Copies of this chain bind each other. A is one copy, B any other.
Amino acid sequence: MTDSPPATNPQSLLSEAYNPRLLQQAGKLLVDLVSQHFLEIEGARGPVLNWKSPADNIQTARQWLQTPDLAADHPAGLDRESRLTRFEQLVRLSLKRGQNLHHPHYVGHQVPASLPLAALFDTIGSLTNQVMAIYEMGPWATAVEHAVVDALGEAIGFPSGCFGGLVTSGGSLANLTALLTARNACLGESWTAGLADKAAATLPTRLPVIVAHADAHYSVTRAAGILGLGTEQVIRVPLDSCRRMDTGQLDSILADLRSTGTPVVAVVAAACATPVGAFDRLHDVADICQRHQIWLHVDAAHGGGACMSNKYRHLLSGLERADSVVCDAHKMLFIPALCAFVFYRNAAHRFVAFQQEAPYLFDPSVNDMAEYDSGLVNMECTKRAAALGLWGIWSLFGPELFENLVDKTFDLGEWFYQLLLQQSDFEPYCKPQCNIVVFRHLPSTLRDAAAEVIDRYQLKLRLAVIRSGEYYLVPCVMDGRSYLRTTIINPLTTGEHLQGLLDCLRKKGTETLDTL
């Protein structure tokens, strides 16, 4: 042991990396570059997606890791100015090679053109590395999460003070967490004894099942696989003409399962289902689940945000009767990914998912803190301060902003559907309930073509459009046929932009027909 205690060399690479002045300089550079980028893409200048092959992008990303010119004479490697120049190059490259969700021609997946200032609140969390698991490590992050869980839960309609909730890293994890809770509630010893243990008294002889909306998100089937129930134990409820669960069929499926003594872990309803955005009739579904005494889980990852809109909250009527609900703030509340909510109607259920101790983590002398130690209820241990963005936007703009976002994009979905109806060469799949619109292009030359040709055309047409950078939309399969799918999830998208999409599809369609 040396006489003088070890210190940090102020000329070292370490000191430079943590220098607040470098942070300030790089931060302002970043803000200028990103603001300029937003000005351009919000104004529809430049491509939506700057298409490069994976090989090209990966090679470029690797090259920067291997650049050897960092080991200069200076103890800290590059001097400040050279490092800032390099920083600027890395930022420009990252902006240039990304997907531009804020371009009004982006009408793709259910990932929004997120609210820019929400990302600034995220940045506070990233820069100061606020995390949760125990209250002490993220006291403000925890408080903010509690505040938005309460506010959003009340907007959904849960009675104040009775429900519980949490924020987790995405809708798939949120569904997994809720279905784990339902599994443990249904199959008492499954957490400790496992599902294979026939000696455990509460485990049944019939294989437990999950009963789900036929269009349920793939994370529901995945959850069955992960939780040891088995993907084959998911029973899919047939849909009605609007692709909602057929409630008559749901009732008779549950009656059959009950009559054979098959344990039903949960019914999974959708608000809305991913393919065409169909909202289940939740009051009817809740009545049926109540009658059969079965856990009702509603995946409202996409549609849950409609609770903020007076015009559209009717789509969620009955959601407050679900035992568990998933709602992604990073979808219809326009927060950057990931900020997914799980709600339990009965707050006591929040501790049913996980049950164990980590003695080094929690201080047994302050037991009253357990309510605020998120690690006890979350799939993650350490988790990000993911609620800061929603809290910040809500505090800065008020809940009206969320209402405006829902109304604007849902309205435009209906408008786009009407526009499609007026075209002789476009065919909407069905009337939309929200901002998801599915359709296909049927130019006259393809009217009598084989189904396989029409399907291949939709896929090739889409690829041609997105790789041109002019618009971004996605493919989907409905009833075994290929369709085009748009989610209007950028409030800067207007009717004119959607008219332009049809023009673009026609133009690229002509070229595509030649290559079929």
Contacts and interface: CB of A to CB of B under 8 A. Distances in A.
Considering residues A372, A393, A418, which has the most beta carbons from chain B within 10 angstroms of its beta carbon? A372
A383 B170 contact: yes
A513 interface: no
25 contacts: A5-B415, A5-B494, A13-B401, A20-B38, A27-B30, A52-B139, A64-B147, A65-B151, A90-B392, A94-B140, A98-B140, A114-B129, A169-B383, A173-B173, A191-B225, A192-B231, A194-B195, A194-B207, A195-B196, A196-B230, A198-B198, A359-B477, A360-B474, A365-B456, A365-B460
A369 B405 CA distance: 33
Given A124-B91, A381-B172, A225 B192 contact: yes
B99 A130 contact: yes
Contacts of A393: 17
How many copies of the shown chain assemble into the complex? 2
A360 B415 contact: no
A208 B196 CA distance: 8
Q: Which 3 A-B pairs have the closest CB atoms?
A: A228-B228, A5-B495, A194-B230
A260 to B, nearest CB: 15
Interface residues of A, number: 200
Contacts of A30: 27, 120, 123-124
Nearest to A171: B381
Contacts of A379: 172-173, 176, 226
A101 B124 CA distance: 13
A312 to B, nearest CB: 16
A507 B475 CA distance: 67
B128 A101 contact: yes
A254 interface: no
B363 A475 contact: yes
